[in-house]
Structure 1
Amino acid sequence: MNKDNKRWVLITGGAKRIGAMIARTLHLEGMNLIIHYNTSSDDANNLCAELNSSRSDSAIAIGANLTDQSEVESLIPEIIKQTGQIDALINNASTFYPTPIEDITHDDWDNLMGTNLKAPLFLCKYATPYLKKSKGLYSQYGRYSCYQATKKPPNLWSCKIRLSYANKITS
């Protein structure tokens, strides 16, 4: 990546862990960053301060709950309002916590799928016109994107459930 460019990269879940590592790496490569957070506003603001201290006005923090449809819908327009563009989208945010099959609830399902599957798909949808305009990096899901997103998980879950209970069943 060209260190002299003024490209803006959105990293969802960019405030901590892997997201923060991605942010620091891209920042060293000259990218400007939009650090998305849900509840980690202090971490996001501290990371932006760190990055902006080495290159001013190169990082901003934006909060949004990715399980809230209206917040997902308004995230990209807010970014365009603040930066004027978006050149790459890195869907890094995730929700994770133990969900044994016998204890999972509908709320768990909605929360996990909302952050980990639904939000990335819709963020790609909302960002694509801007990414195309800037010749940025975007995910081309194609004509059957929702269908494709629904086909693999049931097989994976079935396999994981069978494996997790294999010892109990054979005992």
Structure 2
Amino acid sequence: MDTSPAPVILVTGAARRVGAEIARQLHDAGARIIVHHRRSAAEADTLVAGMNALRPGSAASVCGDLAIDGLPAAVAEAALACFGRLDGLVNNASSFFPTPVGTMDEAAWGDLIGSNLKGPLFLTQALAGELRQRRGAIVNIVDIHAERPLKGYPLYCAAKAGLAGLTRALAVELAPEVRVNGVSPGPIAWPEDDQFGASERAEIVRHTLLQREGNPADIARSVRFLMFDAPYITGQILAVDGGRSAHL
């Protein structure tokens, strides 16, 4: 039987970038962390090792493509086996690439809808009973472009819009035991494949009220707040975007 008072939180897509910072900050707050990844095994192992060096037995990892039929349930089972319980879920895993009208195909649909909407839905469903029992919390990483679409990315925007709606719907479905909220990032971590050139990045920053980029810690602090310090908040989506969505 697990007698540790430390809550257990599963963070999807947590091996790198924003997900890794979310995992680190939740770990710093005293949680035990389950790092989910799809293909980033080396990065996940390094992150887990670092957290376990700070607090032995406080981190583990699970692997799986959440877009594949049946894999969310398998990931949920593996996560529950890590520490024998689960108190929180952060649905962060996401694919992001352009799909202008005329270029969309079934593969893009499967990847973008699968990672951004299908995965969170079926993973949450698989863990709902455990989270209800623990009176846990869920934080979904949405996007400001769920409500204010980005030209050239209609399928991604539709997937994130679905996740925003799902966030509010799950808050209704899982109340009163489980709180469900979302965080919508603005310009935080640019894609690594140079989807946005220097001039495009400068224009995005120019339309951000604070006139600067954010960083992964801004998102992680907001997730930490919603997970641990917001017992009377559910069904809400917090934009962490430097004011960009107020100026689009």
Tell me how far 1:98 sits from its aligned partner: 2.0
Q: Deviations over 1:7-60 (max 9, x none)?
A: 110000011111011111111100000000001111111000111110011111
Task: Write the letter of the residue equivalent to 1:44.
Answer: A
Contact 1:5 1:30 in 2 (8 A): no
For normalisation by structure 1, the TM-score amounts to 0.77
**In the alignment, structure 1 residue 83 sits paired with structure 2 residue 73:** no
Q: Distance in 2 between matches of 1:21 and 1:127?
A: 23
Larger Rg: 1
Q: Which structure dedicates a bigger proportion of its chain to helix?
A: 1
- Identify the residue that residue 19 of structure 2 maps to in structure 1: 19
- Identify the residue that residue 117 of structure 2 maps to in structure 1: 117
Counterpart of 2:21 in 1: which secondary structure? helix
Q: Distance in 1 between matches of 2:95 and 2:116?
A: 7
Q: Distance in 1 between matches of 2:172 and 2:16?
A: 27
- Identify the residue that residue 43 of structure 1 maps to in structure 2: 43
Q: Distance in 2 between matches of 1:23 and 1:113?
A: 24
Map 1:1-171; keep pairs closer than 5 Å.
Answer: 5-138=5-138, 139-142=170-173
Q: Distance in 2 between matches of 1:73 and 1:141?
A: 22
Once superposed, which parts of structure 1, at least 4 consecutive aligned residues long, lie more than 3 Å away?
none
Counterpart of 1:140 in 2: which secondary structure? helix
% identical aligned pairs: 34
Q: Which runs of 5+ in 2 are unaligned?
A: 139-169, 175-248
Q: Distance in 1 between matches of 2:115 and 2:28?
A: 28
CA RMSD in angstroms comes to 1.6
Tell me how far 1:141 sits from its aligned partner: 4.8
Counterpart of 1:33 in 2: which secondary structure? strand
